[in-house]
């Protein structure tokens, strides 16, 4: 391929398709600075997992997030944001520790949990957002 921009677009699309195909129940979107605002302004709650490849607790939480993604398919959009690849978004939301899990509604963060908090804590976080939780800041 001789067009670097086209190659970049095709590689990103392939990466997203692979990520979506690996999810058995509901796709988890790989969020980037170019699409983050569009996704969090979606009409439904958006669960964002701020993570990094080198983060052990992030890897520990991955199956938990996958189970919750399946449980709330169609009700909550699940996204992952790699803080090493997208530092501007992490800085914008003052993410200083990972994993950080944040719920967005109408473009605004409404709740968050930091660390390997476990499935029940994240489930409660999601339930609060579905039951009308307001901004947490």
**Domains along the chain with CATH numbers:** 4-130 (3.40.30.10)
Q: Which helix (H) or strand (E) holds 12?
A: helix 4-22
Predicted local distance difference test score (pLDDT) of residue 18: 52
pLDDT (tens digit per residue) in 41-73: 988 899 999 999 999 999 999 999 999 999 999
Considering 46, 58, 65, 102, which one is annotated as catalytic?
A: 58
Cβ burial, residue 111 (10 Å; 0-12/13-18/19+): buried
Residues 6+ apart with CB under 8 A from 44: 75, 76, 77
Residue 16, CB half-sphere, CA atoms under 13 Å: how many? Answer: 13
Provide the whole-model pTM: 0.77
Active site residue 55: yes
Considering 29, 55, 68, 110, which one is annotated as catalytic?
A: 55
């Amino acid at each position: 391929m001789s067009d670097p921009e086209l190659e970049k677009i095709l590689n990103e699309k392939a990466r997203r398709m692979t990520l979506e195909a690996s999810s058995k129940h509901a796709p988890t979107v790989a969020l980037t600075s170019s699409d983050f605002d569009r996704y969090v302004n979606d009409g439904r709650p958006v669960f964002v997992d701020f993570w990094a490849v080198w983060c052990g607790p992030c890897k520990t939480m991955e199956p938990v997030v996958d189970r919750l993604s399946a449980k709330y398919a169609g009700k909550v959009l699940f996204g992952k944001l790699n803080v090493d690849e997208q530092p501007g978004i992490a800085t914008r939301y003052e993410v200083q520790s990972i994993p950080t899990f944040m719920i967005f509604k109408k473009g605004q963060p409404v709740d968050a949990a930091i660390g390997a908090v476990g499935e029940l804590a994240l489930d409660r976080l999601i339930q609060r957002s579905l039951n009308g939780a307001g901004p947490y800041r």
